[in-house]
């Protein structure tokens, strides 16, 4: 994590699920957002029962960010978080 990460995610402490609607009859529950230093992020993800059971997870990157920053975010997840979570060989 560096200063760019702190600018984009540093104040993000959204620890509750969000409810939305896919259409007028279909409700969808979106899990909380995670943003933290790799070791803290790994610990948070490991404690989330829904993540352990999920077959698909979405990684979102900041839309207003430059491509090089989004590459940094994705590389950080692949290098630090994914191996620790068993999502990728170490």
- How far is it, in rounded angstroms, from Cα 39 to Cα 56? 22
Identify whether the C-beta of residue 71 lies closer than 8 Å to the C-beta of residue 17. Answer: no
Provide the pLDDT for residue 58.
Answer: 82
Q: What are phi and psi of 44, to 5 degrees?
A: -65, -45
pTM: 0.70
**Residue closest to 45 by CA, chosen among 10, 76, 81, 72:** 81
Using CA atoms, how far residue 17 sits from 22, 32, 40, 81, in Å, is 16, 5, 19, 22
Provide the pLDDT for residue 12.
Answer: 55
DSSP code at position 87: S
Q: What are phi and psi of 27, to 5 degrees?
A: -85, 145
Q: Name the stretches of the chain with pLDDT < 70.
A: 10-15, 89-90
């Amino acid at each position: 994590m560096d200063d760019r990460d702190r600018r984009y995610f540093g104040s993000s402490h959204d620890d509750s699920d969000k409810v939305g609607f896919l259409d007028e009859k279909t409700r969808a529950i979106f899990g909380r957002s995670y943003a933290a230093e790799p070791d803290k992020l790994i610990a948070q993800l490991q404690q989330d029962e829904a993540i352990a059971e999920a077959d698909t997870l979405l990684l979102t990157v900041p839309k207003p960010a430059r491509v090089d920053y989004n590459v940094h975010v994705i590389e950080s997840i692949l290098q630090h978080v994914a191996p620790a979570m068993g999502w990728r060989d170490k």
